[in-house]
Structure 1
Amino acid sequence: MATIFGIQIGSKFPSTKKYEAWLDKTQADYERFTAFENSELLRRYRELDALIHSGEFEKKVRELKTLRYKDTPQWHQLNQYKALRSSSDIKSYFKYLKSGKLERMRQIEASSSYKEYIELKNYINSTEFIAAKAHKDFKTSDAYAKFRTFKTLSKQADIKFYNSTASRQEYKTVIKLEDSERLKGFFELENTIKSQEFQDHKAFMEDRKRFEKSEEARLINEFKLLQKNEEIKWFFEKEKKNPFTDIKKWKLTFEENFDAISLDTGRWMTGYYWGKALINENYVPASEKQFFTERNIELRESMARITTRQEEARGKVWDLTMGFIPHQFNYTSGLISTGRSFRQKYGKFMAKVRFSATYPAVSAFWMAGEKITPHIDIVKTAYKKGDNIECGVYMNEGKELAKRTHKVNGATFKNEFYIYTCEWSPEAIIWKINGHEVARETKHIPNEAMYLSFCTILPEEPAAGTLPATMEIDWVRCYEAVQA
């Protein structure tokens, strides 16, 4: 970590400024990465990438670049069509068609005279007519009249033409071809070859620049342009380096940047939670010398500032024997807490904090639940000099208080901003400063939801001239672990 962010002068911890910049940039990059991951631009890139590198597409490109028209099914269709069109039977068919004889035959077939002629012809060849003809009064019968009509029709020019033509081999050949699969196939090929699609394909295949004009070339050019896109290049560089492994583990659940004009009292209480819960008033334990007031909390320059002053105030203290009793205080300070708005069991809890004084002005970023314990100190200025802080956990185990605290040195904490972090899971509590681990606890692990608190207290009378003292909170962020 230190090699990434540098070391603050006089500190073993990474630079706060660089670490915070890294946090902000990583978060911004991650939001940019996840937003772009679902973008239409990236979807199109992936779609083209898959298409262009598919075997089917590559085969099509090779064909466009190397395939001759003679190697295509369309060329073979055209060649087959030309062969059929040049064949003697089909040439004869169209010649006969052009002569008008076939059309005349169709017209005669459709005429009433020819239909009557055929009907009478069938009658005359019937047994009924033969029997009528053998009768002695045949010439006066209806059968004879039909016979006479048939003879008259037979002499008509159209019917004589029809009978003469129908008996010729040339006509029989044409009729046989007309009903054949061969002629049907010829007409199907002709329709195909005369279609615009076929003609366009022929022109395309005969064009020496056909690949450059193809849809495949257009898609390849579109893909190449996308490859040069700065946003896409940035995305794949990030994807390759995978810098978001840690950030993906966490989901933001609470954030406060103190950007408003005044403190959001819907989020933040300004006294101990138990006083608000029990008597709806502020109080402090009898051992503390200050009283908490809202006047000691201000928002300036996007920070919450808690100021501890020497001034008189009237309030209440909690005495183990006497309970809540009025008390006159000589000092005031402030406390902000999410006791009534936000609690969380397990997760990552961070704040950027600076304090101007040390013991007996004890500034702390801490967490507690419904009771005084369990209690986690994320950072506490428990020592007289400014180059030590304390973190720890307090729990009731049976009738005993389990206390595990850790003294942390290695920097001048006084008057400097640091980012203090607590990562709390069922397995461990890990304390970090500017991302650098400073303590770990694996035995005494709270298992109930807790809220956040920031405050400065005076467990002893401060020396003259040591006040006012300030605790500044730049921002607060809380996360819960993302379930795999």
Structure 2
Amino acid sequence: MSFKIFSLQLTGKIKPTATIEQQRARLRADYDAFLKTESSEELKLFLELEAWANSESYKNKKKEIEGLSFKGSKEEKEWKEFERLKKSGSIKKYFLVEGSSDLKRFEKERESDKLKSYYALLDYMKEGQFEKDKKEITSQVFKGSVEEKHLLEYKKLAKSAGIKAYLELHGLEVLKRHEALANSEKFKEYNELKNASDRSKEDKAAFKKIMGDSEIKAYFKLEKSKKLRLYKEISSSHDLKRYHELKALVESKEFREKEAFLKDKQKFEKSEAYKKQTEFKRLAADDTVKFVLKYEKSSLYKNYLDVKDSFDLKRYHELDALLQSEEYRKQKAWLEDKKRWEKTPEYARYQQYLKDKQIPDFVNYFKYKDSNDFDLFKNLEVVFEDDFSGRKLDSEKWSTATPVAGKLLGENYAMPGDLNIFTSGDNLKVEDKLVIQVKKEKAKGKVWQMPAGFVPTDFEYTSGLVSSAPKFMVEDGILEAKIKFDPVKQVVSSLYLTGEKATNRVNLLEMGARNHLGFTFMNGNGKVESQGIDISNLKKNTYIFSVEKAGSTFTWKINEVEILKQEKPEMNKQLFIEASSLVINPVSSAVNFEIEWVKCYRRK
């Protein structure tokens, strides 16, 4: 018995077969799920999400957001700037004025006709035009004026003898008769008689007579008068022309009005300048005007004007609008929120990552991603298997005779000393497992005896045998089978790898008179010898036995626990699978060798 087998069972390292099969089934299901997940779009998206969750950009974003604070932020600076401006004396005074009833009244009245008149008169009074107009008006007097000079000149001319003579004669009937006589036939006759060089008596009488004519007398009287002489002198003179000009001037309405104006002591009080002065004084005393003037000069209004278009007021309104905006309030609340990180899209996305990480398919995927658990599926491929699920042996996989028997005789034969003959399938039962039955029954068969050859013989027992030859041969790979370990000392039941020389075997399992894993071979003395490990103290049960061939190295396992590892260069060749039960001592009842399934893998 083997201490190794004892200790492995004692420590529970050889697990129950059901547990191994459950683990394998789970592993197979996990592997199928792994492959499905590995090629899924969901995993692709999750890996992108995981890469993001583990990225520096995510860590930096989280650090950035968790490091945010209202204190020291741009928003706090804007808030403090607004508070400073709001507390500013000039800003406060500005808002006292803005929209006030006094300002509204001031702005309304300042644009009124009354104020426009006042400001126009103020300019007139203060800019010197009033004084200029007043001086001009008061400086206009008759004495020394052009008008006085014209009037004096006119009066002087009117008093002159020539002008008087002219005025007395001009237009009189006597002057008209005088001028008419000078052009008459009578005056012509007078001149002819007067100027005749040789006057006759009749001429003299006529001359005397005409000299006594009253018209002629009157003519010469006027002709010789000083008045007519002055009249004639003045008639074509400049003085007469000047007299008429001045007479027309001084007698004109404009001259008389101007003369009256220049002589008027109250002319300033009647002037437009005086009216403007009076209106200005009236408006200056008006309550509305006084209010506007006082308000305009007030410190509050001056401050209002200074602040109205100032940068500070513009900035105040900008900040006021900013601080009242939904965007600013949200940002301020965001910066003051101690749980702001938990409200970010990044946090939600990271939580989704953590949630997705718990999805069973993903848990399964990452559980096996970097492990060797799937090596059985990844690195090995099944090249031969039979779970005996049918109702008869699969002849495409198995034969019921050894290769040598098939070639030599076409049926099984026995060796000298064998107690049973292997039938051609009669002792094989397939019912979701392979059962090789040893039966106590009479049967005929042949025994190979030298030099006679095949000798017919009667046997007391029959048994069965299956072989994968010539359909399947094992090179390097793993052979495993689920076998019920229930040894009967009188019968050697075994599943093994062998070649043309049937005495040399790699026993996956041999049980009966001896129970072992290892090699069986013919030694140099022609005797059968075993090499391996005794497993007689293995508890009766069903186990998964396996042997891996890697060249000349063979490794045995029971329920995936390594039991034995040995070298056998002479077995480094192609081998086929056989299973059989051989009676070595009389047995009173039937013996069953149960194999639930057989699989063979090779590395990819």
How far apart are residue 358 of structure 1 and its match? 2.0
How far apart are residue 345 of structure 1 and its match? 0.8
Q: Quickly say closer, same or farther: Cα 1:207–1:12, change in 2 above 3 A.
A: closer
Q: Whose Rg is larger?
A: 2
Q: Quickly say closer, same or farther: Cα 1:236–1:360, change in 2 above 3 A.
A: same
Whether contact under 8 Å (2:552, 2:571) holds in the other structure is no
1:279 lines up with 2:404 in the alignment: no
Whether contact under 8 Å (2:438, 2:464) holds in the other structure is yes
Q: Which residue of 2 aligns with 1:448?
A: 573
Q: Quickly say closer, same or farther: Cα 1:412–1:392, change in 2 above 3 A.
A: closer
The SS at the match of 1:280 is coil
Q: Cα deviation per residue 1:186-205 (whole Å; 9 max; x = unaligned)?
A: xxxxxxxxxxxxxxxxx999
Whether contact under 8 Å (1:395, 1:446) holds in the other structure is no
Q: Cα deviation per residue 1:287-319 (whole Å; 9 max; x = unaligned)?
A: 32212221211112x111111011122222322
Equivalent of residue 406 in structure 1, options 532, 545, 553? 532
The SS at the match of 1:23 is helix
Range with greater deviation from structure 2 (38-47 or 438-447):
438-447
Structure 1 gap ranges (5+): 1-5, 72-202
- Counterparts of 1:204 and 1:54, CA distance in 2: 30
Equivalent of residue 383 in structure 2, options 248, 253, 271? 253
Equivalent positions of 1:156-305 (< 5 A) are 223-239=353-369, 243-244=373-374, 248-293=378-423, 294-300=425-431, 302-305=432-435
Give percent identity, aligned residues only.
26
The SS at the match of 2:410 is coil
CA RMSD across the alignment: 4.3
How far apart are residue 342 of structure 1 and its match? 1.6
1:370 lines up with 2:500 in the alignment: yes
The SS at the match of 1:285 is coil
How far apart are residue 361 of structure 1 and its match? 1.0
Q: Quickly say closer, same or farther: Cα 1:242–1:420, change in 2 above 3 A.
A: closer
Q: Cα deviation per residue 1:115-149 (whole Å; 9 max; x = unaligned)?
A: xxxxxxxxxxxxxxxxxxxxxxxxxxxxxxxxxxx
1:476 lines up with 2:595 in the alignment: no
Equivalent positions of 1:127-166 (< 5 A) are none
Q: Quickly say closer, same or farther: Cα 1:230–1:437, change in 2 above 3 A.
A: closer
Letter in 2 for 1:258: F
- Counterparts of 2:548 and 2:33, CA distance in 1: 25
Range with greater deviation from structure 2 (28-37 or 358-367):
28-37
Whether contact under 8 Å (1:355, 1:469) holds in the other structure is no
- Counterparts of 1:287 and 1:391, CA distance in 2: 24
The SS at the match of 1:417 is strand
- Indicate the structure with greater strand content: 1
Q: Which residue of 2 aligns with 1:416?
A: 541
Q: Which residue of 2 aligns with 1:391?
A: 517
- Counterparts of 1:410 and 1:362, CA distance in 2: 13
Whether contact under 8 Å (2:421, 2:459) holds in the other structure is yes
Q: Which residue of 1 aligns with 2:18?
A: 17
Letter in 1 for 2:595: I
- Counterparts of 1:220 and 1:253, CA distance in 2: 46
Q: TM-score, normalised by structure 2?
A: 0.48
How far apart are residue 479 of structure 1 and its match? 1.5
Q: Quickly say closer, same or farther: Cα 1:228–1:376, change in 2 above 3 A.
A: closer
What is the number of residues matched between the two proteins?
340
How far apart are residue 366 of structure 1 and its match? 0.9
Whether contact under 8 Å (1:19, 1:434) holds in the other structure is yes
Q: Quickly say closer, same or farther: Cα 1:295–1:320, change in 2 above 3 A.
A: same
- Counterparts of 2:559 and 2:571, CA distance in 1: 24
- Indicate the structure with greater helix content: 2
How far apart are residue 212 of structure 1 and its match? 11
Whether contact under 8 Å (2:503, 2:528) holds in the other structure is no
Q: Which residue of 1 aligns with 2:582?
A: 457
Whether contact under 8 Å (2:382, 2:601) holds in the other structure is yes
- Counterparts of 1:356 and 1:225, CA distance in 2: 51
1:425 lines up with 2:545 in the alignment: no
Q: Quickly say closer, same or farther: Cα 1:275–1:317, change in 2 above 3 A.
A: same
How far apart are residue 36 of structure 1 and its match? 2.4
Letter in 1 for 2:548: E
- Counterparts of 2:478 and 2:15, CA distance in 1: 19
Whether contact under 8 Å (1:356, 1:469) holds in the other structure is no
Q: Which residue of 2 aligns with 1:351?
A: 481
